[in-house]
Chain A
Amino acid sequence: MGKEAKNDEIDILFQMLLIRRFEERASQQYQQQKIGGFCHLYIGQEAVVSGTVAVLRPDDYIITAYRDHGHALARGTSADACMAELFGKATGCSKGLGGSMHFFDVKNHMYGGHAIVASHVPLATGMALASKYKDEDRVTVCYLGDGAINQGSFHEALNMAGLFELPVIYIVENNQFAMGTHVKRSIPMDKIVDRAKGYGMKSAVIDGMDVRAVIKDFTPIVEDVRKNKQPWFIEAETYRYRGHSMSDPATYRTREELEKRKEQDPISKLQSDLIKEGKLTQEKFDEMDKKAKKISLDSVAFAEASPQPPLDELYNYTYYAEETK
């Protein structure tokens, strides 16, 4: 699973670019009221999902919270299906029934998109249980926020993951804030990663603003989990550039703090590293960026043109009809 090859890094760079451009476009569409509900942007955190997904096998399971656009895109959901979902259209990745917080793409093994904080942590743990039950060597990756580690469901799930020795990796995307609450105001310890000690769980801190570091540090962890079927707890240090959701002005932090964080921008970093190393030119980068922007813009047109979910199907999604044989 070595990810050192030049092409792969270019792909990963493009992946991050696409997430960013897609969400910038989504932000604009939200402001134009084409998108409803709550909408949480991932901008700034792209290295975490792009790097970790690059290490995974396509058939590994991933699952995350409501800040999920990047996770779907990284897993291969088309920008069209993502934008259409935001628009609530029938062509959306959840047929317009889920919305921003509930992106699903089961074909690509992306199991949501879950909006009750930490409620997906037991789900992830059960998915890993299923893999072990079926003797598969699949790994489940559960992304969650720094705020989620204070929910009871997180606790119960981690204890059982350790007890049952399940092949699951919990990645806390520590973007420093849960809404307006800095992580210092939500836990009594200095570091999130210390929570793992209460479960005797293997743990690591990774630099979530540096996609190369993510890949480097995450690779042996995935190998360990796949082989030894024991859970890991990872704190990925990162930062979100935007407010918690589209309606949050984020006055709880200074402009200076934000600007300082942006100096570590994961896209700029990989871009300049690759250029320095002669693996990328500015022209090629601009081209990639243009492409990412075009895909995002096109996804708006696609979403606009897509049909609403049919009213007469309203009752078709309450119960699954087909009986087992």
Chain B
Amino acid sequence: MNRLDREQMAARVARDIPEGAYVNLGIGLPTTVANFLPADKEIFLQSENGLLGMGPAPAKGDEDPELINAGKQPVTLLAGGCYFHHGDSFAMMRGGHLDICVLGAFQVSERGDLANWHTGAADAIPAVGGAMDLAIGAKQVFVMMELLNKSGDSKLVAECTYPLTGLRCVSRVYTDLAVFDLGPDGASVIEMVDGLSLEALRKLTGLVLRDGRASVCIPE
């Protein structure tokens, strides 16, 4: 079974981002998707802290502490990019102006509920940042995550047990084992890695999982 590594997962997500899309890549794993976006396509990266047209990390020594991304890492601005304040930045998200946002998750329910901000542990210090705004704002919300947690339990679930970030908001989940489309009728599998069967995937997730492999057209 050819489980995808994190770079392969990022590359797989990148394949589904069309030219001209306005995209927000969440902190952590989703940020790496930027490395796999095709150089010959213009794709607009937005960062919640007030920039659109985000470019790659600067060369060593060119970092500017006032030009950072949502993860507070130094970035650059492309020609044609611009800056704006937090009100406008979150209007972009909440107002449905972003085409795609890519987020990590602790759990996603088969109908698209997202849990990615809080483990619910009693001693955890809660922190939400822009996760709830991104979850409900973008036209499409993609999640990328490993399908199983460290205990081997599926993170794609019937109902989330972790505190929710947003309801019915995730449209697609990219994992190391399969890609799922989510909707009111539950999850359907649109891709699997070689050597994995739908039956095995149903067993891993404990979900019904419709077979959507034929009917789905992946945007280029």
**Is the pairing of A and B real?**
no
